[in-house]
A and B are shown apart, each in its own frame.
Chain A
Amino acid sequence: MTTTLDGHGISIDLPAAWEGRLGVRRSPADTFDRETGVRPRSLAGALDRVAPAGNQGWSGERAQPLVHLANFPLPVDRGDFGSGAVDVMGSGGILVALIEYGAESAGTALFAEQGLPQPLPGQFDPNTLQRRISGQYGYQRFVTVAGRPFCVYIVIGSAAGLGPRTAQAREVLAGTRIESR
């Protein structure tokens, strides 16, 4: 039985036992309590000052749709390239991140490759990781799909079973449909 994630012109058929998140990251200002002056997190909350209103780390950057898919439970607190999730994934884990970029990136050399990739086991490497975690293998491609620029980032928990897990990741990507804007 498959579940379908749908939103922002992206539709994904999730295999059984997989879970996924699709959305746009909220502004941190939405969660900052100006009334109580709750201090933002630093190394140990050692702030003497509270930043002025309207300057809470949302200075004009543009959040884009973001997809996290995994064959294990995704933690709530995740970095966009899966930090937090990769820390808890087991050796059999698979994480697929599909990250959209602004329309101005379409047509650039970095996003020249067209269509979602179909990764092969030999294309995974323990150094192709945002953060190297022992045993994990990573894969990263920048592509354009339906005129929309994306980064496809996949982490697999261990070398053991790399072939079957790569196949699962390919299956997930094959079940991903992206509409033009």
Chain B
Amino acid sequence: MTTLSERIVEKIAIGWRAGSSRRSFLSGAAVVGTALASNPWRYLTRPMTAYASVCGEGAACNEGWSAFCCTVTGANQCPPGSFVAGWWKADQSGFCCGSARYYVDCNAACGSDWTCHCASGSCDQRRVACNQFRYGQCHQEIACYGPVVCRVVTCTPPWIFDDSCTATSLTDNRTVTHSAPCLPGNCPSTITQYYYDHGGPGGTFGPATSAERAGADGGRFAAFSSGVLYTTSGGGVRALTGTVFTRYKAAGGPTGALGYPTGVPTAVTGGLAVPFQHGSIYRGANGKSYSVSGAVGEKWRAIGKLGSGLGLPIAQSLKTSDGNIRQKFTGGAIFISPAHGAHVVKGSIFRKWIDLGGSGGVLGVPIADQAVRAGFQATKFTKGTIYSAEATGTRAVTGTLYTAYRAAGGTGGALGLPVEDEVRTPGGSRSQRFQRGGLFWTAHSGSHPLTGVYWAKWRAIKGTVSGLGFPTSGQVSPRKGQTRITFTHGAMYHSAATGVHYLTGRLHQEYARLGGSVGSLGLPTSDPVTSGSKITVTFVHGSLVLDTTTNTIVRKS
């Protein structure tokens, strides 16, 4: 429902539109509107200008009062070279909805170059820097002061927003009608009051960029060039400025991805959080702000936001050319792929993933959230898994080794958790150590594990230094009670009676020619033993001696 004042303003405004530019219409209507709001009957019935009605009584310079600061500088704030020196109030002011209106004197600082003159440019033509007078409740540590440069008005008690002021009350109700075109009119909204308490158009938030309107959940919202102000159903005016405001503006403001702010900016570990209808903005300790909204925001909410341990966002969400979306946080990332949905990668697993090339690397994209198991955590990707445990560190198992690892039972199998990352040789073969074994891959023979006694032997003979090369078979049993694993350049044999031993090169070739472990020599009972130019391996039924000078092998019974 519109008030009489509003209807009159609208009628006048319609009459003006034909001959006015939009800019001049708006500025003209603002003045008329203020006059009507503060003094409708007088304005309509007496031959006076709108300006005279707006500025109230005592607006001429020769009437001796001090001018308003917004008339002088455009901001309802003490100008440079002055300080908040004292205040008085006018009770039951219409400008403050019946509460007191507070007038704060800005006295010139000693040594400043303010000189006495009359204000100009509006109906507020009161005195500037002329009256050597002080109310005295503020900045009492300053004894030296110059004249009142100008005065600031507020509906908020001065001692509440300025700690330098005391609450000693001084009253002058004769100033209750004093005003200026640069000040809000009758009974402004709480947002407008807050806005003018912070300087109005020349102050903290700058000029208005949109009219105040309904916000979220019964609250109100207004946008300015350097910030937004809003209320929520819980009451109180909240401000968004700085990087939070910049981020909100970049996100499209209330009509963008975030919608209207819905709650109180809250301090969180490492920064500040501001809730919106469709997401949040977080400001980190470095002062930078990032929003979390959309599909990432849905996942963020689902995992408990900051309770997830991901920390604050450190970048905006990014959509890649392959349709993936990712957003980084201090402790990880939320990653969304069209095929596998939204998943969280965090902590040391996240760092390992990034080290290995992220979504474009050997692991691919995450296909599950981080799983917490007894003693370790793991995150699955399209081409592998990263495992993290205090005892083994954070390791990735990928590609063909990952396939073999899973075939061998994965973390619950004989190998246990990985204790190193995959090692690639110049020849293209791959190996990886685990808690209880190793995995080996060559292009020729594929992937094979070494575990148990064979793994212990492999480590004892320093693996590839022994000349065996990589395993080329799984564990086979040529005869009951004995097993064998072949390698690129030899083999290992095992039985309970003989233990595990290996042969390489010419000796292995001769042993194989003689039937190997099922031949006449039986199982080896020693590893190759070098003595001078001779290398000897003993067996259950004899020995083979390689003379390296002649490259001949002699069998001994």
Contact = CB atoms under 8 A, between A and B. Distances in A.
Given A56-B99, A105-B166, A44 B42 contact: yes
B97 interface: yes
A84 B187 CA distance: 26
Nearest to A151: B136
Given A43-B38, A43-B39, A127 B168 contact: no
A81 B170 contact: yes
A42 B93 contact: yes
Interface string A49-90: 111000111111111100000000000010111011000000
Interface in B139-168: 140-143, 147, 157, 159-160, 166-168
B132 A47 contact: no
A28 B92 contact: yes
A57 B93 contact: yes
Contact of A57 (B91, B133, B186): B91
B41 A134 contact: no
B99 A42 contact: no
Contact of B94 (A42, A58, A112, A151): A42
A47 B94 contact: yes
Contact of A84 (B3, B142, B174): B174
A102 B167 contact: yes
Contact of A44 (B40, B92, B96, B135): B40
Contacts of B89: 57, 61
Contact of B176 (A39, A42, A63, A140): A42
Given A51-B97, A62-B169, A42 B186 contact: yes
Contact of A138 (B63, B101, B133, B179): B133
Interface in A106-151: 108-112, 125, 127-134, 138, 140, 142, 151
A113 B465 CA distance: 95
A41 B94 CA distance: 6
A45 interface: yes
A101 interface: yes
Contacts of B38: 42-44, 46
A104 to B, nearest CB: 6
A32 to B, nearest CB: 7
A140 to B, nearest CB: 6
Contacts of B174: 77, 79, 83-84
B132 A128 contact: yes
A77 B39 CA distance: 22
Nearest to A40: B92
Contacts of B130: 127, 132
A17 to B, nearest CB: 26
Interface in B337-385: none
Nearest to A66: B170
Nearest to B176: A41
A46 B186 CA distance: 8
A129 B133 contact: yes
Contacts of A35: none
B64 interface: yes
B64 A61 contact: no
B95 interface: yes
* Most A-side CB within 10 Å, residue of B65, B133, B157: B133
A85 B167 CA distance: 25
Interface string B61-77: 01111000000000000
A90 to B, nearest CB: 17
Contact of B100 (A57, A131, A132): A57
B168 A109 contact: no
A99 interface: yes
Nearest to B127: A132
B56 interface: yes
Contacts of B172: 79-81, 83, 130
| Residue of A83, A105, A140 with most chain B CB atoms under a 10 A cut-off | A83
A81 to B, nearest CB: 7
Given A131-B65, A132-B127, A40 B94 contact: yes
Interface of A: 25, 28, 32, 39-51, 55-64, 77, 79-81, 83-84, 99, 101-102, 104-105, 108-112, 125, 127-134, 138, 140, 142, 151
Given A60-B157, A60-B167, 19 more contacts: A40-B94, A42-B93, A43-B42, A44-B41, A45-B94, A46-B186, A49-B97, A50-B98, A51-B99, A56-B100, A79-B172, A79-B175, A80-B171, A102-B166, A105-B137, A109-B143, A127-B131, A128-B131, A132-B130
The 4 closest A-B pairs by CB, nearest first: A42-B94, A40-B92, A57-B100, A51-B98
23 contacts: A28-B92, A42-B94, A42-B95, A42-B186, A46-B40, A46-B94, A46-B186, A49-B97, A57-B100, A57-B101, A59-B99, A60-B159, A64-B168, A79-B88, A79-B171, A79-B172, A79-B174, A81-B88, A81-B170, A99-B170, A105-B136, A110-B143, A140-B133
Interface of B: 3, 5, 37-42, 53, 56, 58, 62-65, 88-89, 91-101, 116, 127, 130-137, 140-143, 147, 157, 159-160, 166-177, 179, 186-187
